[in-house]
Amino acid sequence: MDRVFIEGLEIEALIGIYDWERRVRQPLVFDIEMAFDNRRPAASDRIEDTLDYKAVSKRLIGYVSQTDFGLVETLAERCAELILDEFGVHQVRLKLSKPGAVRGARAVGVIIERGRAEGG
């Protein structure tokens, strides 16, 4: 299966479990790979046949910027569900990084892979 990717998508969000985190927006970085059959858009050369990564990015920016989850795990799950449900991809691999969350580390976060059930 082909992959369409979005790398380094930075979105400001209210996220965290500590009181100070609940008062400031923090940058989150998303790296996303989506399984999508690119043969049809390659043959037609039409944007309507593609998995439009700009549309995926805009949807995630709108969604994430309005959330206020405590855990990156919860946010990652919801974002994966959104991509699977709204963009017709077969599988998604999502890396969500929280830069500067741990002293001495560039970033911390989660990587998840989710897919749709056959026929779903």
Please report the pLDDT score of residue 23 as a whole number: 87
Domain hosting residue 22, numbered range:
3-115
Q: Classify residue 24: in a domain, yes or no.
A: yes
Predicted pLDDT of residue 115:
96
What CATH number is attached to the domain comprising 110?
A: 3.30.1130.10
Whether 82 maps to a domain, the answer reads yes
Q: What is the per-residue pLDDT across 11-46, written as a single tens digit (0 to 9) for each?
A: 999 998 888 888 889 999 999 999 999 999 999 999
d(CA 84, CA 106): 29
User: pLDDT by residue (tens digit) across 67-108?
Assistant: 999 999 999 999 999 999 999 899 999 999 999 888 999 999
* pLDDT of 31: 98
pLDDT, average across residues 49-75:
96
Q: Which long-range contacts (CB under 8 A, 24 or more apart) does 42-50 make?
A: 50/4
**Number of domains into which the chain is organized:** 1
pLDDT mean over 58-72: 96
Q: Which of 54, 58, 95, 98 is catalytic?
A: 98
Rounded to an integer, what distance in angstroms lies between the CA atom of residue 12 and that of residue 119?
A: 35
**Which strands make up the sheet holding 91-99, listed edge to edge?**
3-13, 26-35, 91-99, 107-115
> 79, 63 in Cβ contact below 8 A?
yes
Q: Is 95 a catalytic residue?
A: no
pTM as predicted: 0.91
Give a yes or no: residue 120 inside a domain.
no
